[in-house]
């Protein structure tokens, strides 16, 4: 606790020294999903499953869920049976604490851990179509449910690390995530709305990507966008950032698979 | 690069993801616009021949300000009784500033019921979109719309 | 792998005008992009989409690179008789994919 106290003081000093004085986290009542920042046409693309491109990945994911893989010749369904019951609410509480590793893992990592530990199959590469499809399928079963990310007390130090990463200025543009997403949301940057950066709909279909993609992909693109060195896929820093963002969005509703510009 | 503290764990979780995805991914959402208004006119001529293309009957629904030029929803509908004697045989969509002027041609059957199609298109720049309907009596009708296209900020590059 | 999502009403009355929505998975590579080393990424698009009802073509679309990835196409048709809608996508490099959906017309 004392270490955390010191860390908070140092953070406060850093705030005053470097960030504008009103660098505050967004008040709970003012939180808005990225959905609300989009034009009606893009919102319509998300709201109807029959026209939402993300549905293609969810359907692929369902097929993978039922397919036997690995030297154990097991399907996800063999252990987890009907995803509509067993996967309900799962994505809403990820990243989750993994006891064996003593740190948080995100949903993609959890799926790969299941593959290696229980199916004796090779892990799926990050951003591969199969991993995205499985993640989308699992996360789809949390749609409509409130985010619970980061509520596990064991995750506290990792949430704090994620917050520090979110606040830290970095890169050639010397920007921290908070500069845009806490301080300047709802203004525009190069014609696009700056959102509050709540990961309510991942993995999501991004029009810019013309594909479904993960939160880590989005984070890496943002970090590269401020001209900083992006962490590798699966890096602990990215998981900590994911964890912080989900805890910052706690209570907001999951929209997976979302559509974003 | 950010060096991992626990390299065995990073290796386990990291896999081949980074290298595999971005080995040969094409770069560049910014294509040089190659089409010209002359190409647009010529493409329309190719469909309509020497017939006069009149304005009217066609409704072109497209957002005036587009969030991302990669995927722009568009609906074209044509006022027509859609009877065997009086119907729309095809709808043609053109653009002005993409590398080439054609977007799509949509051929309707005699039992279409309603002359309306929707699709999603790509727009490389702010430009004019033109939709032309060919009727069963050989006449051509058109509508056009001007669209402002903004690109996503922090455009993703190969990383 | 689910490569296409088709939305057709399962039942309709004779004479009803119904909307058919199709969404399929395809990169629609335009042929205008370049790799970091400057090489053109070759075009790879769906060029033609056809819908047949009980064997008769009721709708056809010619697609160009300006059609967005994961092509989404909707159109209308009059319900005439029960049977099947057959959908076919044809594209570059010998690409060919089909899907079908039944309809009961009362």
Interface contact A44, partner C, CB < 8 A: no
Domain B37-148 top-level CATH class: mainly beta
Which of A97, A116, A140 is the last residue in one of the domains?
A140
Phi and psi angles of residue B3, each rounded to the nearest 5 degrees, phi first: -80, 135
Helices (H) and strands (E) in chain B, counts: 3, 9
Segment among A189-193, A232-236, B90-94, B119-123 with least mean pLDDT: A189-193
Phi and psi angles of residue A83, each rounded to the nearest 5 degrees, phi first: -60, -30
Question: pTM here?
Answer: 0.86
Q: Are residues A136 and A151 in the same domain?
A: no
Number of residue pairs across B and C with CB atoms under 8 Å? Answer: 106
In this prediction, residue B122 carries a pLDDT of 93
Q: Are residues A224 and A179 in the same domain?
A: yes
**Interface predicted TM-score (ipTM) of this complex, two decimals:** 0.95
Q: Are residues A255 and A151 in the same domain?
A: yes
Q: Are residues A126 and A170 in the same domain?
A: no
Q: Is residue A12 part of a domain?
A: no
Q: Is residue A242 part of a domain?
A: yes
The pLDDT tens digits of the residues spanning C4-21 come to: 999 999 999 999 999 999
3-state secondary structure A41-87: HHHHHHHCCCCCCHHHHHHHHHHHHHCCECCCCECHHHHHCCHHHHC
Tell whether the model's pLDDT for residue B13 goes beyond 80: no
Q: Are residues A153 and A255 in the same domain?
A: yes
Which candidate in A79, A114, A177, A222 is catalytic? Answer: A222
Phi and psi angles of residue B49, each rounded to the nearest 5 degrees, phi first: 60, -135
Which of A77, A106, A140 is the last residue in one of the domains?
A140
Q: Are residues A183 and A251 in the same domain?
A: yes
Number of Cβ within a 10 Å radius of residue A175: 18
Q: Is residue A254 part of a domain?
A: yes
Nearest by CB: A50 against C1, C5, C24: C5
Q: Are residues A168 and A250 in the same domain?
A: yes
Which of A140, A161, A196 is the last residue in one of the domains?
A140
Q: Are residues A228 and A193 in the same domain?
A: yes
Q: Say how far apart CA B92 and CA B95 lie, in whole Å.
A: 10
Q: Say how far apart CA B84 and CA B63 lie, in whole Å.
A: 33
Q: Mean pLDDT across the stretch B120-149? A: 94
Tell whether the model's pLDDT for residue B67 goes beyond 90: no
Q: Are residues A212 and A120 in the same domain?
A: no
The pLDDT tens digits of the residues spanning B22-64 come to: 334 444 444 445 567 788 999 999 999 989 999 999 999 999 8
The pLDDT tens digits of the residues spanning A16-53 come to: 444 443 457 889 889 999 999 999 999 999 999 999 99
Query: What distance in Å separates residue C39's CA from the closest CA in chain B?
Result: 9
Tell whether the model's pLDDT for residue A67 goes beyond 70: yes
Q: What is the CATH number of domain C4-105?
A: 2.60.40.10
Q: Looking at residue A114, which CATH number applies to its domain? A: 1.10.760.10
B117 with C74: Cβ contact below 8 A? yes
Q: CB of C35 within 8 A of CB of B27?
A: yes
A237 with B1: Cβ contact below 8 A? no
C5 with A211: Cβ contact below 8 A? no
- A76 labelled catalytic: no
Interface contact B117, partner C, CB < 8 A: yes
Q: Say how far apart CA C59 and CA C76 lie, in whole Å.
A: 9
Domain boundaries, chain C: 4-105
In C, which residues are within 8 Å of B100 by CB distance?
64-66
Q: Are residues A122 and A156 in the same domain?
A: no
The pLDDT tens digits of the residues spanning A97-134 come to: 999 999 999 999 999 999 999 999 999 999 999 999 99
The SS3 assignment for C2 reads coil
Domain count of the fold of chain A: 2
Tell whether the model's pLDDT for residue B21 goes beyond 50: no
In this prediction, residue B30 carries a pLDDT of 47
Tell whether the model's pLDDT for residue B7 goes beyond 60: no
Enumerate long-range contacts of C32-41, CB under 8 Å, 24 or more apart.
C32/B31, C32/B99, C32/C65, C33/B26, C33/B27, C33/B28, C33/B31, C34/B26, C34/B27, C34/B28, C35/B24, C35/B25, C35/B26, C35/B27, C36/B27, C36/B158, C41/B26
Q: Which domain holds residue A114?
A: 54-140
Neighbours of chain C (3+ CB pairs under 8 A): A, B
In this prediction, residue A172 carries a pLDDT of 92
B24 with C35: Cβ contact below 8 A? yes
């Amino acid at each position: 606790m004392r270490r955390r106290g010191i860390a908070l003081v140092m953070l406060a000093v850093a705030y005053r020294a470097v960030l504008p004085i009103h660098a505050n986290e967004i008040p709970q009542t003012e939180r808005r999903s990225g959905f609300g920042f989009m034009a009606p046409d893009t919102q319509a693309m998300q709201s109807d499953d029959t026209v939402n491109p993300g549905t293609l990945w969810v359907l692929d994911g369902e097929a993978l869920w039922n397919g036997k893989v690995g030297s154990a010749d097991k399907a996800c369904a063999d252990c987890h049976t009907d995803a509509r019951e067993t996967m309900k609410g799962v994505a809403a509480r990820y990243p989750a604490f993994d006891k064996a590793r003593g740190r948080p893992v995100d949903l993609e990592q959890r799926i790969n851990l299941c593959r290696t530990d229980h199916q004796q199959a090779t892990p799926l590469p990050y951003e591969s179509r199969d991993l995205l499809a499985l993640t989308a399928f699992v996360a789809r079963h949390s749609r409509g449910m409130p985010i619970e990310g980061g509520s596990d007390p064991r995750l506290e130090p990792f949430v704090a690390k994620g917050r520090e990463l979110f606040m830290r200025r970095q890169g050639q543009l010397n920007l921290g995530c908070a500069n845009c997403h806490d301080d300047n949301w709802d203004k525009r940057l190069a014609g696009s709305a700056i959102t509050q950066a709540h990961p309510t709909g991942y993995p999501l279909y991004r029009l810019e990507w013309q594909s479904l993609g993960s939160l880590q992909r989005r984070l890496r693109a943002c970090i590269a966008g401020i001209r900083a060195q992006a962490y590798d896929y699966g890096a602990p820093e990215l998981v900590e950032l994911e964890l912080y963002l989900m805890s910052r969005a706690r209570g907001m509703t999951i929209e997976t698979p979302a559509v974003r510009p | 690069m950010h060096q991992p503290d626990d390299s065995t764990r990073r290796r386990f979780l990291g896999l081949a993801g980074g290298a595999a995805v971005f080995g040969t991914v094409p770069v560049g959402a910014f294509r040089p616009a190659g089409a010209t208004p002359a190409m647009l006119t010529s493409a329309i001529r190719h469909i309509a021949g020497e017939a006069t293309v009149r304005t009217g009957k066609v409704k072109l629904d497209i957002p005036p300000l587009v969030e991302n030029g990669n995927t722009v929803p568009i609906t074209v509908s044509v006022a027509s009784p859609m009877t065997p004697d009086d119907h729309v045989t095809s709808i043609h969509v053109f653009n002005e500033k993409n590398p080439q002027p054609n977007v799509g041609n949509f051929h309707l059957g005699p039992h279409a019921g309603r002359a309306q199609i929707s699709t999603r298109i790509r727009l490389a720049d702010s430009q004019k979109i033109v939709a032309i309907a060919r009727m069963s009596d050989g006449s051509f009708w058109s509508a056009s719309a001007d669209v402002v296209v903004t690109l996503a900020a922090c455009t993703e590059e190969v990383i | 792998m689910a490569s296409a999502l088709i939305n057709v009403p399962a039942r309709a009355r004779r004479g009803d005008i119904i909307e058919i929505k199709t969404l399929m998975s395809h990169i629609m590579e335009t042929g205008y992009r370049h790799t970091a080393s400057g090489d053109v990424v070759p075009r790879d698009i769906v060029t033609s989409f056809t819908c047949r009802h009980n064997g008769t073509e009721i709708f056809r679309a010619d697609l160009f690179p300006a059609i967005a990835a994961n092509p989404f196409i909707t159109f209308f048709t009059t319900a005439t008789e029960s049977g099947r809608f057959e959908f076919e996508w044809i594209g570059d490099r010998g690409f060919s994919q089909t899907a079908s959906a039944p309809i009961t017309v009362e």
